[in-house]
């Protein structure tokens, strides 16, 4: 377990992009391989994570432990888009801290409800969100961004009502 006092949450910086991309790619592989259509795999090569991480730094919050990026979350408007933690920090409480920060960002954006998409086969993520008070609203088709337009991905829409 990472000591919560040792975890620092801060806005992402351009210099974080390579480590964010690495964590994102590794975590994405763990949760998505075998759980998403081949069309999405085709538009998610390793270098696409480098490009997207660099583009998304402005809406990224990173968690650091002893100065090293341990994980990150990306929020856009009322959507918690990405929550990933490096393998070394999984199960340490870093993800819960990032999720709480994302929920606060959604509140700060003026919303009373947050949402996120999870592919059905990503059981670990689904259990994590449910433990943290998120409710599975059911299946929907998520329009995952792709270079030539959205890619249809069967997913579950999770929501959380925010105080």
50-80 pLDDT, tens per residue?
999 999 999 999 999 999 999 999 999 999 9
Q: What is the pLDDT of residues 87-130, one digit of tens each?
A: 999 988 999 999 999 999 999 999 999 999 999 899 999 999 99
What residues does each domain of the chain span?
4-161
C-alpha closest to that of 82 among 40, 159, 10, 20: 20
Q: Would you call 104 exposed, middle or buried from its count of C-beta atoms within 10 A (0-12, 13-18, 19+)?
A: middle
Residue pLDDT, tens place only, 77-87? 999 999 999 99
Q: What DSSP string describes 90-104?
A: TTTTHHHHHHHHHHH
Helix (H) / strand (E) containing 150: none
Give this prediction's pTM.
0.92
Q: 4-161 belongs to which homologous superfamily?
A: Gcn5-related N-acetyltransferase (GNAT) (3.40.630.30)
Cα distance between residue 99 and residue 123, in whole Å: 17
**Residue 140 clears pLDDT 80, i.e. is over it:** yes
């Amino acid at each position: 377990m990472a000591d919560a006092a040792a975890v620092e949450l801060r806005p992402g910086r351009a210099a974080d992009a390579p480590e964010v991309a690495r964590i994102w790619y590794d975590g994405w592989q763990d949760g998505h391989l075998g759980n998403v259509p081949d069309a999405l795999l085709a538009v998610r090569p390793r270098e696409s994570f480098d490009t997207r991480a660099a583009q998304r730094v402005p809406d990224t919050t990173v968690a650091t432990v002893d100065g090293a990026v341990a994980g990150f979350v990306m929020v856009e408007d009322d959507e918690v888009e990405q929550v990933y933690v490096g393998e070394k920090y999984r199960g340490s409480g870093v993800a819960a801290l990032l999720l709480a920060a994302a929920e606060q960002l959604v509140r700060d954006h003026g919303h009373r409800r947050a949402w996120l998409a999870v592919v059905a086969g990503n059981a670990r993520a689904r259990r994590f969100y449910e433990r943290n008070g998120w409710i599975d609203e059911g299946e929907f088709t998520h329009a995952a961004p792709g270079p030539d337009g959205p890619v249809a991905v069967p997913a579950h829409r999770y929501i959380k009502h925010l105080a």
